[in-house]
Amino acid sequence: MSISESQIQSALKEVVDPNTGKDFIASRSAKNIRIAGNDVTLDVELGYPAKSQIESIRKLVEDKLRAIEGVDKAFANVYSKIVSHAVQRGVKLIPGVKNIVAVASGKGGVGKSTTAVNLALALAAEGAAVGILDADIYGPSLPMMLGIEGQPGSKDGKTIEPMEAHGMQAMSIGFLVDKDTPMVWRGPMVTQALQQLLKDTQWRDLDYLVVDMPPGTGDIQLTLAQQVPVTGAVIVTTPQDIALLDAMKGLKMFEKVGIPILGIVENMSTHICSNCGHEEHIFGSGGASRLARDNAVELLGALPLDIHIREQTDSGKPTVIADPQGRVAEIYRGIARQVAIRIAERAKDMTSKFPSIVVQNT
């Protein structure tokens, strides 16, 4: 019995990617279907990093294809391909960076930086090339969180090389000044310093650059949102009403400048007692869910208020690195995967496809 490509496509329409919720035909992931006698091979291209998911997806597809009458052997080549996606109008992409993810909060103290670092590390753990930029000039925390000491070098005297830790590129004003020196700068100076950190750093072929935004929605944040080519933003909040009020302001700020909200992360969702393991909602419950529902955005995940998260981050080995098989690291990886999927669903950046037009006097 001969096997047709339409049979293969019909079967693949019934196979749903557990991460995206879409079948492999609707998502255009199935490519290069080849039939040789009773054997079937194809490529499955994922638009998000999925190192931990590839084997399970391969088995899912191959089992479905083998169930087709007449198929003896089936092989699915599953891989990830991360491309650049659209940003705000009139803002150019940064060389060496495909996608920029801004991690923001309306107020400080909600665990935004901890979330940003673990999000970046989780993306890297799934096979992506990742960098992180500490955009908090007044209170840079990245050097301590990643356990990095020393200053970045420069090969040409004009640009700076990113620091590296845990397989990830990193840049922060904290690498360039003494850790005890306060940054007594006004807004324009801070904005200029950030632009230099972003554009003068020699980022090397990054799939994602995670930007840990300073807290608030003032002039600095607005300028960054207007001038930095952001693919999407992640809002970090706690369930507490006062935090939700400020998170809403941050969300609306990004919407006003045309930056899509990739989702909301609820930090300190529950408290876990280190003695007995009892879990309780000390900051309230369901706040981020309501914020997400009211603004038609996704709740990416909820993280506990756990002493180990703080201890691991302070030691320079954040949770995703310190306890990669633990429950909290699994939550961070799930959040990272959803962020990458939301980005993959965005329109692709096509500016590189257009030829440069140069007008000369002849």
**Is 107 annotated among the ligand-binding residues?**
yes
pLDDT of residue 306: 84
- Is the distance from CB of 71 to CB of 40 less than 8 angstroms? yes
Best-predicted range by mean pLDDT among 90-94, 137-141, 278-282, 318-322?
Answer: 318-322
- Checking if the pLDDT of 131 tops 50, the result is yes
**Is 210 annotated among the ligand-binding residues?**
no
**Is 153 annotated among the ligand-binding residues?**
no
- Checking if the pLDDT of 142 tops 50, the result is yes
Q: If we measure between CA atoms, which residue out of 65, 10, 9, 78 comes closest to residue 38?
A: 65
- Checking if the pLDDT of 225 tops 50, the result is yes
pLDDT of residue 352: 52
pLDDT of residue 351: 62
Angle at 290 between CA 287 and CA 293, to 5 degrees: 150
- SS3 of the chain: the string is CCCCHHHHHHHHCCCECCCCCCECCCCCCEEEEEEECCEEEEEEEECCCCCCCHHHHHHHHHHHHHCCCCCCEEEEEEEECCCCECCCCCCCCCCCEEEEEEEECCCCCCCHHHHHHHHHHHHHHCCCCEEEEECCCCCCCHHHHHCCCCCCCCCCCCCECCEEECCEEEEEHHHCCCCCCCCCCCHHHHHHHHHHHHHCECCCCEEEEEEECCCCCCHHHHHHHHHCCCCEEEEEECCCHHHHHHHHHHHHHHHHCCCCEEEEEECCCCEECCCCCCEECCCCCCHHHHHHHHCCCCEEEECCECHHHHHHHHCCCCHHHHCCCCHHHHHHHHHHHHHHHHHHCCCECCHHHCCCCCCCCC
Mean model confidence pLDDT for the chain: 87
- Checking if the pLDDT of 263 tops 80, the result is yes
pLDDT, tens digit (0-9, with 9 covering 90-100), for 82-116: 999 988 888 888 999 999 999 998 777 788 999 99
Stated pTM of the model:
0.90
The C-alpha atoms of residue 344 and residue 236 are separated, in whole angstroms, by: 21
pLDDT, tens digit (0-9, with 9 covering 90-100), for 50-88: 999 999 999 999 999 999 888 889 999 999 999 999 888
Domains of the chain in start order, with CATH, are 5-80 (3.30.300.130), 97-344 (3.40.50.300)
Residue of 220 and 337 predicted with greater confidence: 337
- Report the Cα 249 to chain-centroid distance in Å: 21
- Checking if the pLDDT of 354 tops 50, the result is no
pLDDT, tens digit (0-9, with 9 covering 90-100), for 177-199: 877 666 666 767 778 888 888 88
pLDDT tier for residue 161 given thresholds of 50, 70 and 90 = very high
Phi–psi pair at 237, nearest 5 degrees = -145, 170
The C-alpha atoms of residue 271 and residue 246 are separated, in whole angstroms, by: 22
- Is the distance from CB of 333 to CB of 122 less than 8 angstroms? yes
pLDDT of residue 222: 78
pLDDT of residue 298: 92
**Is 158 annotated among the ligand-binding residues?**
no
Q: If we measure between CA atoms, which residue out of 136, 147, 143, 100 comes closest to residue 120?
A: 100
- Checking if the pLDDT of 32 tops 80, the result is yes
**Is 90 annotated among the ligand-binding residues?**
no
The C-alpha atoms of residue 122 and residue 116 are separated, in whole angstroms, by: 10
Percent of the chain with pLDDT over 90: 49
**Is 37 annotated among the ligand-binding residues?**
no
Sole residue written with tokens 């000044």: 177
Residue of 173 and 357 predicted with greater confidence: 173
- Checking if the pLDDT of 347 tops 90, the result is no
- Checking if the pLDDT of 353 tops 60, the result is no
